[in-house]
Amino acid sequence: MNPTLYINGVWRNSSNGGRHEVRSPHDGSLVASVAQASIDDVMEAIAAARACFDSGVYSSWSWTQRSALVSKIADLLERDASIVAKKESDDTGKRLIEAEYDVADVVATFRHFAALGLVEQDHVVDVGIEHVTSRIVHEPVGVCSLIGPWNYPLLQIAWKVAPALVAGCSFILKPSELTPQSAIHLIKLIEEAGTPAGVANLILGPGSVVGNALTTDPRVDLVSFTGGLTTGKTIMVGAAPTVKKLALELGGKNPHIIFADADLDAAIDNAVTGVFLHSGQVCSAGTRLIVERSIHDRVVKEIVRRAADIRMGGPADLTAETGPLISESHLKTVEKYVAAGIAEGAKLLIGGKRSERPEHAHGWYFLPTVFDGCNTSMHCVQEESFGPVMTIEVFDTEAQAIAIGNDTIFGLSGGVWSRDTDKAARVAGALRHGTIWVNDYGPYRPQAEWGGYKQSGIGRELGSHGLGEYLEIKHIWTNNSPSRSGWFHDAVGGES
Ligand code: NAD
């Protein structure tokens, strides 16, 4: 049996023999069998990461050396891109071409952080005292638990692994139990690149067991987590007793606002992509369409026409535009969400059920779904379905559009469409969300920060802040002309 846990530089199986079968979301077939770590394995992985970090075997490497390592990993990922994309597509059920785009984004992420590691981080500040040199230096935060979701498995962990490596941290990586294969391959490449044993450790298994141990252990300094809001709150509680640093990327319920003066053809096309891409299993999906009343009927008619036309299929279907949901349990969650929406008065215009096509019979296919007549008091507007479900709300004024767009506990992303650039800029400025697209929806680049306001998370990934999460900042004050402090009186005075 293939050993798939990586602890202290050694590939091995679980100490209690546990295994987990990964099933295709497309047809339920077996795609992989992987080791499922025991708590003892987790303890060993944390011990290895801690000992490695404290020894300085990697954390003392120069920024240049660490950047070169991360750059080498990017090269290896590029070399193995098609292998990695196939694994990702098998695990997630997404089309191969989509997985290939994701791997290209992963390579770009590693290259971004490798480049950032070469930019001088430390600096001297002027504290206004001539004989004092005040230096601000950046040091690795320590041992990190990196926990990822299943929707963009490799990409989401790359946003953590690449900066952690550049910063000089040691880590224990835990991908989602539903999608472990690309993480296993990434760790093989990290090993091949010459990373010292103990820096990168891989643990597989369910979050409630191994994830919990990784987020509560006192030897862990930082937890970086991407996943659902409920899990994020549990992690905050578990991390509190040892005051761990936290970087949390949680859910979103993202407003996509279309004004009547927008380029409607482009706006509608982006609205369809924004919500139905990857069957809505995207944290930044534009699930809340907020439309100016005068164009409501036209926009809705066109969206329904386009939703009806979306071609669904599995990884190998070259004509498919979107794929299955990740699991039966997730499909049932989306079904319940839709039923609740109907019960609370949302008007179902299309979809709302699983696909009945024979070729989808063994997979988790849910039809693109549109609810009209929605408002901010409804659960379907406030809660994340993480499925292909759009809710439509209307507004009459700019102020209303902003108020509706901000009426959510989340704050991850949003979009605004208008030909009036001043108006679009005002709305973009007023929306309390971490990323706003103006006359666009969805693109991101590793050079720009990503993260959420409000309950969408804590901290930022990507950009330069995405490296900062993995660094401690130390201030070193050097007095070049020492003298007495003179604060307390000294009866004797002078040198003894
Ligand atoms: P999830 O919270 O169920 O699981 C995420 C990860 O956490 C998995 O690896 C899981 O095993 C682990 N986990 C579960 N319980 C845990 C616990 N008690 N302690 C430690 N780890 C635990 O989320 P998911 O279903 O895998 O992903 C979907 C969610 O992720 C959505 O809410 C989505 O919005 C969010 N997401 C956010 C972003 C972002 O950038 N903000 C990106 C992708 C996904």
Residue 494: pLDDT band (50, 70, 90) is low
Distances (CA, A) of 47 to 89, 144, 237: 33, 12, 22
Q: What is the pLDDT of residue 1?
A: 80
Q: List pLDDT tens digits, range 346-393.
A: 999 999 999 999 999 999 999 999 999 999 999 999 999 999 999 999
Contact 284, 270 (CB under 8 A): no
Closest ligand 1 atom to the C-alpha of 214? 20
Cβ–ligand 1 distance for 223 under 6 Å, the answer: no
Q: Whose CA is nearest to atom 4 of ligand 1?
A: 227
pTM value is: 0.97
CA–CA gap between residue 292 and residue 400 (Å, rounded): 10
- DSSP structure class, residue 207: I
Could you give the percent of the chain with pLDDT greater than 70?
Answer: 99
Longest dimension (CA), the chain: 96
The arithmetic mean of pLDDT across residues 121-148, rounded, is 97
Residues in the chain: 496
CA of 227 to the centre of ligand 1 (A): 2
pLDDT at 495 over 70: no
The response to whether residue 330 sits with its C-beta less than 6 Å from ligand 1 reads: no
**Reduced to 3 states, what is the DSSP secondary structure of residue 416?**
strand
Q: Is the CB of 217 under 6 A from ligand 1?
A: no
Ligand 1 center–CA 250 separation, angstroms = 7
Q: Which atom of ligand 1 is nearest to the CA of 450?
A: 40
Provide the 8-state DSSP code for 330: H
The DSSP 8-state label assigned to residue 134 in this structure reads: E
Checking if the pLDDT of 19 tops 70, the result is: yes
Ligand 1, residue 229: give the atom nearest the CA. Answer: 32
Residue 247 · residue 461 · CB < 8 Å: yes
Q: What pLDDT, in 10s, does the model give residues 229-265?
A: 999 999 999 999 999 999 999 999 999 999 999 999 9
In the reported structure, the alpha carbon of residue 175 is separated from the centroid of ligand 1 by a whole-number distance in angstroms of: 9
Q: Three-state DSSP class for 6? A: strand
Q: Are 97 and 184 in contact (CB under 8 A)?
A: no
Residue 323, H or E segment: none
- Residue of 102, 156, 281, 283 best suited for mutating to test ligand 1, as the one with most atoms within 8 Å of CB: 283
Is the pLDDT confidence value at 445 over 80?
A: yes
Sign of CA dihedral 274, 276, 280, 286: positive
Taking the centre of ligand 1 as the mean of its atom positions, its distance from the CA of residue 458, in whole angstroms, is 14
Supply the DSSP symbol for 391.
E
Which protein residue's CA is at the shortest distance from atom 41 of ligand 1? 249
Dist CA 231 CA 212 (whole Å)? 10
Amino acid, res. 64:
T
Among 228, 153, 156, 148, which Cα is nearest to 410's?
228
Is 169 part of the annotated catalytic residue set? no
Distance from the alpha carbon of residue 341 to the mean position of ligand 1, in angstroms: 24
Other CB atoms within 10 Å distance of the CB of residue 128:
7
176 pocket-lining for ligand 1 (C-beta < 6 Å): yes
Q: Which atom of ligand 1 is least distant from the CA of 174?
A: 9
Of the candidates 143, 78, 133, the one whose C-alpha atom is nearest the C-alpha of residue 105 is 78
* Ligand 1 atom 40: residue of nearest CA: 249
DSSP secondary structure of 245-312: EEEEE-----EEEE-TTS-HHHHHHHHHHHHHGGGG--TT---EEEEEGGGHHHHHHHHHHHHHT--B
235 Cβ closer than 6 Å to some ligand 1 atom: yes
CB 150 within 8 A of CB 162: no
- Determine if ligand 1 sits within 6 Å of the CB of residue 159: no
Atom of ligand 1 nearest to the CA of 176: 9
Contact 434, 452 (CB under 8 A): yes
Measured between alpha carbons, how far is 354 from 322 in angstroms, rounded to an integer?
14
List the residue whose alpha carbon is closest to atom 14 of ligand 1.
207
Q: Is 393 a catalytic residue?
A: no
325 lines ligand 1 (CB under 6 A): no
Both structure tokens of 210:
């191994």
Quick one: tokens of 19? Answer: 């295994």
To which residue do tokens 């997979």 refer? 363
Is 177's C-beta closer than 6 angstroms to any atom of ligand 1? yes
Which residues are registered as beta bridge partners of 291? 258, 394
How many angstroms separate the CA atoms of 85 and 102, rounded? Answer: 8
DSSP-assigned letters across all residues of 138-182? EEE--EEEEE--SSSHHHHHHHHHHHHHHHT-EEEEE--TTS-HH
Q: Ligand 1: distance of its center to the CA of 244 in Å? A: 18
Ligand 1 center from residue 483 Cα (angstroms): 55
Active-site residue (options: 144, 283, 374, 380) = 283
Contacts 24+ apart (CB under 8 A), 421-425: 423/259, 423/398, 424/259
CB 36 within 8 A of CB 14: yes
**Which of these is catalytic: 249, 292, 384, 398?**
249
112 Cα to the center of ligand 1, angstroms: 24
Looking at residue 363, its pLDDT comes to 97
- Ligand 1 within 6 A of 384 CB? yes
So what's the pLDDT on residue 30? 97
CA distance 481 to 397: 64
CA atoms within 13 A on the CB side of 256: 25
- Whether pLDDT at 166 is above 70: yes
- Closest-CA residue to 390 (of 360, 347, 434): 347
Tell me the chain's radius of gyration from C-alpha atoms: 25
Q: Quickly count helices (H) and strands (E) in the chain.
A: 15, 20
User: For residue 496, is pLDDT > 70?
Assistant: no
